[in-house]
Amino acid sequence: MEHVVVVGSGIIGAACAEALSAAGVRVTVLDRGPLAAGTSAAGEGNVLVSDKAPGPELDLALESLRQWPVVLDRIGRDVEWQPKGGLVVGTGVPLDAFAAGQRAAGVDARTITPAEAFEREPGLTREVTTAVHYPQDAQLHPVLATTALLDAVRGRGGSLRPGVAARGLDARGVVTDLGVVTCDAVVNACGPWAGEVSRLLGAPIDVRPRRGVVLVTAPVAEPVRHKVYDADYVGAVASGDADLRTSTVVESTPAGTVLIGSSRERVGFDAAIRVVVLRELARKAVRLFPGLAAVPVLRAYGGFRPYAPDHLPVIGPDPRRPGLWHATGHEGAGVGLAAATGALLAASMLGTRTAVDPAPFRVDRPGVALCG
């Protein structure tokens, strides 16, 4: 394995490229647009275990939590890594059973009293009755992280080619709109566009976009200290919009702003910001932190999460096209899962031992690989 082309320069493509180049493989990263400008430029930078039920994704997340510090150490760059911890709160929703299951799977999930929650987050609504603290949850700056990974690839002799689109595969390598790039393997890391690109590459997979929107407030005097989640999903149901779900996450950034996420909508690649979604996010944030009501919203941004029908990432070789690999379908967790995904893909490709079982993520599992 001498030369691998990674198509897609988001966090997953960058992590795969970095892991491969760290193992001595020459890597070329193509992106039809600017670098790190798609889904990775539209997320919050979550590195979470708190939101995952026991299963393969949680295993991958726990491995990623171990891998991220290793990767960051290897590339030696500040990506605003903040091990701030998560706080899941509810108003009447029992959280204990879920947390207990996570604990059994290896998550540090600590049930705390409302008083302890208020001590951790003084601005929290006093309506909170249940709370679980997840010290492992962290945050990083997704664009800085992606850029740092790509810079490391370039530093090891790899090549970054923004503005070059993959059009297909042939015996030599990847056909692009600027000619053929010869290589031994190709990684489709196109996130929500991976389905579209997989068709061009002759091996379609079922990966689709799911819209997400985040609100950003003006800088506030009293920052939110953790990632704070609302465990209450009643609001999403009550919104009467079957294709809209919001699960509130409120957190501060190093810039002093507060991020309020996030929605899940099935609207294809429609990038319009819907006010009903913003309203839903605002309502829940104000309910969680009443003091935020007077804070101005500066902006809203949206992106597209890639998801497979079973909501598990797709990582591995495509048996239909030798030399073609996929790494996509991480839905809202790409940043968190990137470090382990890069390691898993590189190890699988190079035939070394993998830290997690690759089987649940394989491409030819039911529903993912489509008939060409």
Residues interacting with other proteins, by CB under 8 A? 33-37, 41-42, 141, 143-144, 147, 162-163, 215, 217-219, 255-257, 260, 272-275, 278-279, 282-283, 285-286, 292-302
Taking the complex as a whole, how short is the minimal distance between the CB of residue 66 and other proteins, in angstroms?
27
Residue 292 three-state SS = helix
Nearest residue to 370 via CA among 330, 314, 323, 322: 314
Nearer to other proteins, 51 or 230 (CB): 230
Q: Are 30 and 161 in contact (CB under 8 A)?
A: yes
Q: Are 210 and 304 in contact (CB under 8 A)?
A: yes
The per-residue b/e assignment along 68-96, b for 16 or more CB within 10 angstroms, e otherwise, is beebbeebeeebebbebbbbbbbbeeebe
Q: Are 15 and 341 in contact (CB under 8 A)?
A: yes
Encoded tokens for 49: 């275990």
Q: Which residue has the tokens 């990432």?
A: 313
Taking the complex as a whole, how short is the minimal distance between the CB of residue 255 and other proteins, in angstroms?
7
Taking the complex as a whole, how short is the minimal distance between the CB of residue 235 and other proteins, in angstroms?
11
Q: Are 224 and 250 in contact (CB under 8 A)?
A: yes
Residue 334 CA to chain centroid, in angstroms? 2
Taking the complex as a whole, how short is the minimal distance between the CB of residue 336 and other proteins, in angstroms?
18
Taking the complex as a whole, how short is the minimal distance between the CB of residue 23 and other proteins, in angstroms?
25
Nearer to other proteins, 138 or 143 (CB): 143
| Interatomic CA distance for residues 57 and 79, integer angstroms | 24
Nearer to other proteins, 98 or 301 (CB): 301
Nearer to other proteins, 175 or 286 (CB): 286
Taking the complex as a whole, how short is the minimal distance between the CB of residue 141 and other proteins, in angstroms?
8
Nearer to other proteins, 23 or 41 (CB): 41
Taking the complex as a whole, how short is the minimal distance between the CB of residue 121 and other proteins, in angstroms?
17
Nearer to other proteins, 222 or 364 (CB): 222
Nearer to other proteins, 47 or 285 (CB): 285
Nearby residues of 142 by Cβ (< 8 Å), 6 or more positions away: 11, 36, 40, 41, 43, 44, 45, 335
Rg (CA), the chain: 20
| Interatomic CA distance for residues 207 and 143, integer angstroms | 23
